[in-house]
Amino acid sequence: MTTQFPQGPAALARRSFLRVAGASAATVGLVLAGCGKDNTPTATNPNALLLGKDDPGVLNYLYLQKQLAAAFYQKVSDAAPSDFSASEKAFFTDLRDHELTHREALRNALGTGAYDTSLATPLVFDFSTLALTTRTGVLAAAQQFEDLSVAAYAGALPLLTTTSTVALLAKIASVEARHSAFVRDLRTPGSFAGDDVVISADSLQSVSVAKTPAQVVADTKAYFLPIVISTDSLPTA
């Protein structure tokens, strides 16, 4: 049975929600541009990808995850499932554009220190483990990526030492939180967030669950094979 996404006011409200996020994404792209630093890591194992250390290493880690998300949304936009409504196709195009903006903002921030400046060919991401031919499968995968992105930023921002970089990346993190809530609402109208991604206890009330770079890389390693991402040189505290 084909599931149709609501049209009219509800659809417009969701679209407006994404437009606000898109405006934030564009702002980050403009501010971050030109802030690069030459800190390109070098891998000795042809299947190992080193991300560098300190702030540039953390930025490379976030840049890599952003490349993955952008590639996912591009794949869905190029071949949307047949049971996607017209509104859902438009929404996912918006999500793709936000991720592309974030990806380029991080690339510009890294400059020649971006990990892929030393690669002979761009990474190819493997999405074969995901069920992307149905609406249910695509939304489940999108929620996985968005929830993980929010957790990645929550865990990475405390590792940075440059205040201006923290402030700018916090803007990207806020957009990712909007994405996560939006996709959850598509799957289950009115859900918006869940106890699996938001801490609801004591002084951490309504704080996003955080994951370390090592945890996030472990959760996404299947998409990078045969490349193995190393987080050994990244700060841990």
Residue 3 within any structural domain of the chain? no
Domain count, the chain: 1
Residue 173 within any structural domain of the chain? yes
Residue 141 within any structural domain of the chain? yes
Q: What is 66-90 written as a DSSP string?
A: HHHHHHHHHHHHHS--TT--HHHHH
Mean pLDDT, range 76-88, rounded to an integer: 95
Which residue range(s) make up the domain with 100? 47-192+205-230
pTM higher than the cut 0.95: no
Mean pLDDT, range 140-157, rounded to an integer: 93
- Of the pLDDT bands very low, low, confident and very high (cuts 50, 70, 90), residue 68 is very high
Mean pLDDT, range 91-113, rounded to an integer: 94
Residue 168 makes CB contacts below 8 A (sequence gap 6+) with 28, 31, 32, 109
Q: Do the strands 207-208 and 198-199 form a parallel or antiparallel pair, or are they unpaired?
A: antiparallel
pLDDT at residue 217, rounded to an integer: 95
Residue 129 within any structural domain of the chain? yes
pLDDT at residue 120, rounded to an integer: 83
Residue 178 within any structural domain of the chain? yes
Q: Which of 65-74, 155-164, 199-208 has the lowest mean pLDDT?
A: 199-208
Q: Please state, in angstroms and rounded to a whole number, the distance separating the CA atoms of residues 60 and 213.
A: 11
Residue 162 within any structural domain of the chain? yes
Contact between residue 113 and residue 159 where contact means Cβ atoms under 8 Å apart: no
Contact between residue 27 and residue 219 where contact means Cβ atoms under 8 Å apart: no
Residue 147 within any structural domain of the chain? yes
Residue 2 has pLDDT above 60, yes or no: no
**CATH code of residue 84:** 1.20.1260.10
Contact between residue 209 and residue 176 where contact means Cβ atoms under 8 Å apart: no
- Does the CA dihedral 151-154-160-162 come out positive or negative? positive
Residue 25 within any structural domain of the chain? no
Contact between residue 14 and residue 195 where contact means Cβ atoms under 8 Å apart: no
Residue 25 has pLDDT above 70, yes or no: no
Q: How many helices (H) and strands (E) does the chain have?
A: 6, 4
